[in-house]
Structure 1
Amino acid sequence: MAEMAMWGIDMRRDDELIRKYMFEMEDAPEWVVWFMPDEGDEEGEAKYYHLRLLADEGFLQETGPNGCNFRITNAGHDFIGMMRDEGLWKQMKIRASTVVPRYGLRLLFEVGNAIVRNRLAELGVPLD
């Protein structure tokens, strides 16, 4: 993290950038995406920072001898599925922020799972 601070990027997580980058990963022509920003490329540095946050939570896996190779995990695909539903995405953020103003990615994911499970229960789908 000291390396990120050295780059001079904003160290706050941006959920809309998270969403954008996950969609980019899913739409990539290869299942492993290499990404390393050039020094001084603030947009690239912010992207790399957010990809690392997603890897921290297990939504991406960073591989390779020097890192910088990212692939979407199974949990990441589940998260993308929730993100693609605009209404669900908004509900996830609203509900998470009601409890904790600066919620984490894992909580956001769990809130999405809870909403989906509630929808399934309302349809009479047994969940146990």
Structure 2
Amino acid sequence: MRRNSDLIRAILLAIEKDDRCEVLRIPDIGGYPDEAVHFHARLLVEKGFLKTYFPDRTGRQPWVCIRLTWEGYDFLDAIRDPVVWRSVKRVASKAGSWSIETLAAIAKAMVVAKVEALGLAA
């Protein structure tokens, strides 16, 4: 299965939105099969963006996300704005490939450019 940056963003947004924020089932993400959502959520765990535990390793009980990590929030904050997100994806596609680090770097550069354009740079 290929990584999908839009699904990664959707998972982070859905988890942040949930009011329970300490114990979360992996949310249903419209338009994506459960297998893809779980696969991408596991990638986010491996990257350190989600902190999880697995209550039942037999597979009978769904795994549970405890929370977004600091790194997960930082990445989400960088790509939260839909306009920035579209621009980030456009720039990354011109480069021919992407990684989480690349997407975050592009988004942060765009935010810095916005701050400088507003005359708010220190």
Q: Report the TM-score, using the length of structure 2 for normalisation.
A: 0.74
The 1-side partners of 2:26 and 2:120 are apart by 44
Q: Which has the higher contact order (CA 8 A, sep 6+)?
A: 2
Partner of 2:24: 33
Is 1:17–2:7 an aligned residue pair?
yes
1:66, distance to aligned residue in structure 2 (A): 5.8
1:68-93 CA-to-partner distances (Å, cap 9, x unmatched) read: 33221122222222333111001111
What is the correspondence of 1:1-128 to structure 2 with a 5 Å cutoff?
Answer: 11-31=1-21, 32-35=23-26, 43-64=33-54, 68-70=63-65, 71-99=67-95, 101-122=96-117, 123-126=119-122
Q: Which portions of structure 1, spanning 4 or more consecutive aligned residues, are displaced by more than 6 angstroms?
A: none
Distance 1:124 1:29, change over 3 A: closer
Unaligned runs of 5+ in 2: 58-62
The 2-side partners of 1:106 and 1:47 are apart by 21
RMSD: 2.5
1:31-56 CA-to-partner distances (Å, cap 9, x unmatched) read: 131349xxxxx821111111111222
Query: What amino acid is aligned across from residue 113 of structure 1 in structure 2?
Result: K
Identity of aligned residues (%): 29
1:65, distance to aligned residue in structure 2 (A): 6.0
1:95, distance to aligned residue in structure 2 (A): 1.5
